Structure 1
Amino acid sequence: MWRASHNLLPTADNLWRREILLEPTCQICKQGKETTAHTLLLCKAAKKVWRYAPFETCFPDAVNQDMLEIMVEMAKKLTKSDIEVMVAICWTIWYGRNKFLFEGKKMEPLLTISRAEAVVEAFRRVKQPTLDPEAKYSSKNQQVWSPPPDNTFKVNVDAAVNFDRQKAGLGVVIRDSSNKVKVAAVKSTLFTGDVQTAEAEAVEWGLVVAKSAAFQCIMVESDCQEVVKLINNNEGSRTEIMWVISEIQSLSKDFQNISYYHTPRSCNTHAHSLAKLALRNNETVVWLEPIPVEVESVLSSLI
């Protein structure tokens, strides 16, 4: 963003001004000069990405402004948290632009946004205040995702909710003992008004995905402690969530070995990232190994 604000990115317009390229035209949309603002905000590929931004965006004067002016203007309208996401989106758009120009890979708007949010989430985790050595040591096993034993697969699940649209996104990622992603899946569903029910539906979706992949020995992790307790204790009333819990317990019989665990959110970031992706995707998608590069890039941003 420092380079973008100083107009130092090697856009077609800048390279044309230095007589490196024969024309300054954007090679993605073929419409107008590829300036910094055009690349990051105005190109049709960039606009498709910004439609999925988690905050309202409007760049009406971007044609006549440089990126520094635009960033200052947006800083007055957005929260600090949103500005962080905006910067990450600009970076992922630039990354996607380079992938298209040099590798011929089309920019996927939903995955571009998810990658940006994953980058921000990883950055925020790194910037969290450091614990004292003893506390850090004692909580180490609880704060870092650990792989399953050999011949067992770990199924991490999570739900994300959009209350305004009454929609829930379910994310599933399945990894083996070497931390290799074997399956990733997203699904959007109607939000019934209860977050715990959405989290239980994420567990149920994880079992369906694991069963379809023919895994027999699995460990299921959710960051919703209440749901894990309900599954393990087999207790509860005839509420909506208990119907989902009943389905989970029924599906559990299809596996040779299965166990359920509560995990901190910091150990469940891959599933959370996919759940947020599912919120923007109206389709149910299951990616089997080999996982597409675009999905891998979203997940690798969290490592």
Structure 2
Amino acid sequence: MSSPEGNVRFFKRLWHLNIQNKIKIFVWKAIHAILPSRHHLASRGVQIDPLCPRCNLSNEHSFHVLWQCPWAKDVWSESALWPMLSRFLGQNFMELWCWTILNGPCDDVGCFAMISWSIWLARNQWVFEGRSMHGREVVSHAGNIWAQFLTSKPVRISNTINEPHLIHWNAPPVGSIKINVDAAVFDDSDFFGVGVIVRDDKGMVLMARAGCLEGVLTPYLAELLAVREGIILAYHLQWTNIIVETDARNVVEYIRHPNALAPEASIIAFIRRLMLQTSGLTITITITFCRSFANKAAHELASFGLRNLVDVDYKDCCPFYLSSFVRSDFTYDL
């Protein structure tokens, strides 16, 4: 691996991460091996034992603290990144950073930075306060810090589960578009269905999609992927005011309060990132919850896609098998 200065694109990735600036600076210092570790301080003339205070097996330099120390390895083994990181054979933190970027999904890089930061905080807690944290605690701490940072950003997510009028489908406000999404899962199938239906403020169908994707998923994860499909569609349609509606209450809550280290964290982060990207434009995307009775049309589309193992898009028309559900929704809305 070349010197840090030669890896411009890897540094660009650092400065564009959706994390606190102080953590970006911390990672930059770790890459350049200038964290105030015992080895670094001793090399600068400070009278201090350079050995790692945890393991006493090696000098405590940046790479040792964050990766080589057996305690640090215990922390990483508790994270969702371990299957990818366990294959790393490099010799410094810059190589570890580049390995993560090249071998992990986009959101793994932010997760890596957060855990590295938490390892350093736990190290300081041990050195200066004599208090120790288990690996799982460190990983959980990293997830909580990142979740708090992400949820502090202005994302419009409305949870309307207590509004009785949403027992039936309601048309969106004048000038708005509503996208209902749902998923269908069969116990004996290796596929799951996704249904998306787009309607205007008069209840007219502008677009519909019956899809089928491969994978044996829990209903929650299937519903989350259905929401992702709706958000992607909303992002590309570029209407001014768009409501994405799902009958999966837990999906709305997890998007509202994400856990950055949960297995589905990358999907939720992708959804939130798309929503944040529209905030600078004249587009507003809102996610809301509705009762399952108000989401029958989207469910029928998802079931159709799964039953027939097809991916079908309908533009400016309503498929025949959906017409009774759309008429029923339109009647209730009136």
Which TM-score applies when normalising by structure 2?
0.45
Q: Which has the larger radius of gyration?
A: 2
